[in-house]
């Protein structure tokens, strides 16, 4: 497959007759978009919502320090590991079936985690939650990319979906703090159950089954197993490296296993007739660039929120509820970015929109890095936080549009799975790297006091700025403005 040209990206398609779903997938586009955004939000939210609730979880269930780490990591591990498989399942077996199955797994696992009486039960539930999320997230993205044939409508829909994912990544600590402070730690899991039930009802009425003439196809089992194992082992290596040391035996063993599994995956994909990830997809330049950028920047937003949550609690002595409320205005930035990005896509193109959003976030992170022990919340946290989130909201849409364009509706789940996998692996690696940088900076101060902690957080934020500026250089390879009916030649 050759590289997709800018003119091929989101090319207009014939509209279906009124009341008829295009390709048999969507009955009510507005309802589908609402369902997709809600599902995307809660799945990404669960990568970080438990962070603030960890101390009461430890007290309630008697978790060790290692067990506490795995409450967070177990979800990330299976979520990232199964994304490609989850996206391909939707392509082969129908997105309605995949969506409902993923939602059921996610909701039941959330209920089990909230009811856990032992630490291992909570960790096991989080593992299963990740599998459900890995089916849901790429399926929601492919539903939107195939359900809105008009380029302008698709851009608006993808902008909202991207904003929902960014909000989930950024608001985990906020919502976790509010639920833990007002109710208990169990509600960071229980909250998914009523939401899941509502989404099941809405999705059952909004999504159609496989369209007429759809070929079910065969699942590439060897390729699926190898890529899932490779991705999961890579994330496990990052988790264990951060926990036990990067040169520890378990971390190196997982890294070696990841390399072996991914090498086996490449060999398998060259030989099977229906590969789970056709290697030709990775040679489509816009797709590979967008996925590379998603991986490079994926850890910056969660790291920013991680540092700010710790700053507000450990340096400014706020309780979890107050700290969560202090970061809640970040949702305003995401909403603003989601509104601006689709409007900017035509005049600026994916390249221009990505550079604008990324530079705005980079400038805001430099501002945030000026935090100090006695700083002003409105000046030093609130304003730059909203600006950073606005930038992230703007920069996400062009990556989604580029990564999911030019591959055809039969590979929409694959494209969605690739992009989300890149984000999640990038998030795990980037967050670990920035936290390690902050920890090293704090340790170098000698005095583990508030000033040393603040200096470490500032160093981590500046490290995130460096990643964003590097992304700007790579972002020059994104497609520019399209020539066509929406723009002057």
Residue 385's nearest CA partner among 460, 461, 454, 299 is 461
pLDDT band at residue 208, thresholds of 50, 70 and 90? low
Neighbours of 373 (CB within 10 A): 13
Partners of 207 in beta bridges = 26
pLDDT at position 250: 86
109 has pLDDT over 90: yes
**Using one digit for the tens of pLDDT, what is the confidence trace for 50-87?**
877 877 888 888 887 667 767 877 887 788 778 777 77
- CA dist 489 and 474 (Å) reads 26
- 46 pLDDT above the threshold of 80: yes
> Is pLDDT larger for residue 14 or for residue 322?
322
Residue among 202, 250, 336 at smallest CA distance from 66: 250
For CA atoms 69, 75, 77, 78, give the dihedral sign. Answer: positive
CATH for 24-208+276-475 is 1.20.1250.20
Confidence at residue 12, expressed as pLDDT on a 0 to 100 scale:
37
Q: Tell me the pLDDT tens digit for each residue of 163-172.
A: 787 777 667 7
Burial status of residue 436 (CB atoms within 10 A of its CB: 0-12, 13-18, 19 or more)? middle
Query: Which of 299-303, 368-372, 463-467 shows the lowest mean pLDDT across its residues?
Result: 299-303
More confidently predicted of 254 and 214: 254
Kindly report, residue by residue over 272-312, the tens digit of the pLDDT. 777 767 777 777 788 888 889 988 998 898 889 888 888 88
Residue 3 has pLDDT above 60, yes or no: no
Residue 203: is its pLDDT beyond 60?
yes
Q: Quick one: average pLDDT of 431-438?
A: 84
pLDDT at 425 over 70: yes
pLDDT of residue 107: 93
- At 105, is the pLDDT very low, low, confident or very high (cuts 50, 70, 90)? very high
Find the largest Cα–Cα distance for the chain: 69
Share of the chain above pLDDT 90, in %: 18
- Tell me: pLDDT of 135 over 80: yes
Apex 296 CA angle, 290 and 297, nearest 5: 90
Under the banding of pLDDT at 50, 70 and 90, the label for residue 248 is confident
d(CA 285, CA 271): 23
DSSP helix/strand/coil, 26: strand
Query: Using CA atoms, how far apart are residues 423 and 419, in angstroms rounded to an integer?
Result: 6
């Amino acid at each position: 497959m050759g590289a997709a040209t800018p003119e091929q990206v989101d090319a207009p398609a014939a509209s279906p007759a009124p009341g008829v779903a295009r390709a048999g997938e969507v009955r009510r586009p507005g309802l589908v978009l609402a369902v997709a955004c809600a599902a995307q939000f809660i799945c990404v939210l669960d990568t970080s919502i438990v962070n603030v609730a960890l101390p009461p979880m430890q007290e309630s269930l008697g978790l060790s320090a290692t067990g506490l780490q795995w409450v967070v990591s177990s979800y990330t591990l299976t979520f990232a590991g199964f994304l490609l498989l989850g996206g391909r399942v939707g392509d082969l077996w129908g997105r309605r079936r995949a969506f409902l199955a993923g939602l059921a797994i996610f909701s039941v696992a959330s209920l089990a985690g909230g009811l856990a009486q032992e630490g291992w039960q909570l960790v096991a539930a989080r593992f299963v939650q990740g599998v459900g999320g890995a089916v849901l997230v790429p399926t929601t993205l492919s539903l939107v990319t195939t359900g809105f044939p008009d380029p302008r409508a698709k851009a608006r829909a993808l902008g909202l979906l991207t904003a929902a994912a960014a909000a989930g990544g950024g608001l985990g600590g906020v919502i976790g703090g509010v639920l833990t402070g007002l109710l208990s730690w169990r509600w960071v899991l229980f909250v998914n159950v009523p939401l899941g039930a509502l989404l099941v009802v809405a999705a059952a009425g909004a999504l159609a089954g496989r369209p007429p003439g759809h070929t079910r196809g065969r699942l590439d089992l060897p390729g699926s197993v190898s890529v899932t194992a490779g991705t999961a082992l890579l994330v496990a290596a990052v988790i264990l490296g951060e926990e036990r040391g990067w040169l520890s035996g378990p971390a190196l063993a997982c890294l070696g296993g990841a390399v072996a599994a991914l090498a086996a995956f490449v060999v398998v994909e060259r030989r099977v007739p229906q590969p789970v990830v056709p290697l030709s997809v990775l040679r489509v330049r816009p797709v590979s660039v967008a996925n590379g950028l998603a991986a490079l920047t994926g850890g910056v937003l969660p790291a920013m929120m991680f540092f700010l949550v710790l700053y507000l609690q450990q340096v400014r002595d706020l309780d979890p509820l107050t700290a969560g409320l202090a970061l809640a205005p970040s949702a305003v930035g995401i909403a603003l970015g989601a509104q601006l990005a689709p409007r900017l896509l035509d005049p600026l193109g994916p390249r221009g929109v990505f550079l604008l959003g990324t530079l705005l976030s980079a400038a805001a992170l430099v501002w945030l890095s000026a935090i100090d022990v006695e700083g002003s919340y409105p000046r030093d946290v609130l304003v730059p936080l909203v600006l950073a989130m606005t930038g992230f909201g703007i920069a996400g849409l062009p990556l989604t549009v580029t990564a999911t364009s030019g591959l055809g509706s039969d590979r929409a789940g694959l494209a969605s799975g690739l992009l989300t996998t890149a984000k999640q692996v990038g998030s795990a690696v980037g967050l670990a790297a920035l936290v390690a940088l902050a920890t090293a900076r704090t340790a170098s101060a000698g005095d583990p006091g508030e000033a040393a902690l603040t200096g470490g957080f500032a160093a981590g934020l500046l490290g995130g700025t460096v990643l964003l500026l590097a992304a700007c250089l790579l972002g020059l390879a994104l497609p520019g403005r399209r020539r066509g009916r929406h723009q002057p030649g």
